[in-house]
Amino acid sequence: MNDKIYNLLLLLAALVVPLVCGGIVYALVTDATEAFNHFGFLNFLTSSEWRYTEGAETYGALPFVVGTLLTTLLALLFCIPFSLPVALFVGEYFRGTKLAAVLSTVTDLLAGIPSIIYGLWGFYTLRPVIMALDISPQGSGVLTASLVLAIMIIPYAASLSAEFIKMVPNDLKEGAYSLGATRAEVIRHIVFPFAGSGIFSAYILAIGRALGETMTVTMLIGNTNNIPASLTATGNSMASIIANQFGEADGLRLSSLIAIGLLLFLITALINMVGKIMIKRARIA
């Protein structure tokens, strides 16, 4: 094949991604314009009312933005104490052993389970436990959704972090051991500084997975259109409100739901951008 034709095909293939991204943004902005023009962007973002009675439609995205960020941050907090030890177990302490291989296989299997399965497990297993412990009377809520989200993102964070830990040069670790460093000191002073930016990027990807999760959150968060007053209170996320109401929405409500989708897109893009900047600074340092 001629080099010019080959290069042209590569260029066309590479342009598919920005074209698709641009098309998504254009469609979201176009369909969300009605809501932004009617309520104003800042008012729509900061309003906590969501009423769709005939003749008195009022829509605001604040409860769903708060619900999304709250469940995501809680899920990340629950995820780190479990995913990081798994990554160290597989990538450092028992690297190359059958035990690590089995644990890695199980972790990858958990990552491949459909989200609806996690939602069903949370609804029929975890929710009754939370009710029995008298943590929440209805069992559903921000805490329940966050716990299941944490279980969902643990395999992603652990698997990716383990790969970055494995990339730490053995020469550096062996040199530290020869100077009398302990395993804990090697991990703290060699492994984490070298693989830190990669581990951080793994958690950024995990946050992206949690932000856009729909079915699991819809089944467990309680689906009430208000700002959660506590961790055990019910609420809605940006994805769950779209899933619950998109099928029956039209007119201004449909435009408002698409506007929420646009906000979710922007929040995800912003988090990824901040993550890349921090990773770049960590590499330079």
pLDDT greater than 60 at residue 245: yes
Q: Indicate the helix (H) or strand (E) that contains 275.
A: helix 251-284
Task: Give the up-direction half-sphere exposure of residue 101: CA atoms within 13 A in the CB hemisphere.
Answer: 3
Distance CA 142, CA 225 (A): 13
Q: 16 or 119: whose pLDDT is higher?
A: 119
Residue 65 banded pLDDT, cuts 50, 70, 90? very high
Q: 83 or 184: whose pLDDT is higher?
A: 83
What was the pLDDT predicted at 118? 93
pLDDT greater than 70 at residue 66: yes
pLDDT tens-digit readout, 110-157 = 888 888 999 999 999 999 999 998 888 888 999 999 999 999 999 989
What was the pLDDT predicted at 285? 52
Q: Provide the token pair at 124.
A: 């029929």
Which string of DSSP letters, residue by residue, matches 5-70? Answer: HHHHHHHHHHHHHHHHHHHHHHHHHHHHHHHHHHH-HHHHHH---EEEETTEEEE--HHHHHHHHH
Compute the average pLDDT of residues 161-187. 85
Q: pLDDT averaged over the chain?
A: 87
Residue 3 banded pLDDT, cuts 50, 70, 90? confident
Among 141-150, 176-185, 247-256, 270-279, the minimum mean pLDDT is found in 270-279
Domain 62-241 belongs to what topology?
A: MetI-like fold (1.10.3720)
Residue 210, SS3 per DSSP: helix
Which string of DSSP letters, residue by residue, matches 67-132? Answer: HHHHHHHHHHHHHHHHHHHHHHIIIIITTTSHHHHHHHHHHHHHHTS-HHHHHHHIIIIIHHHHHH
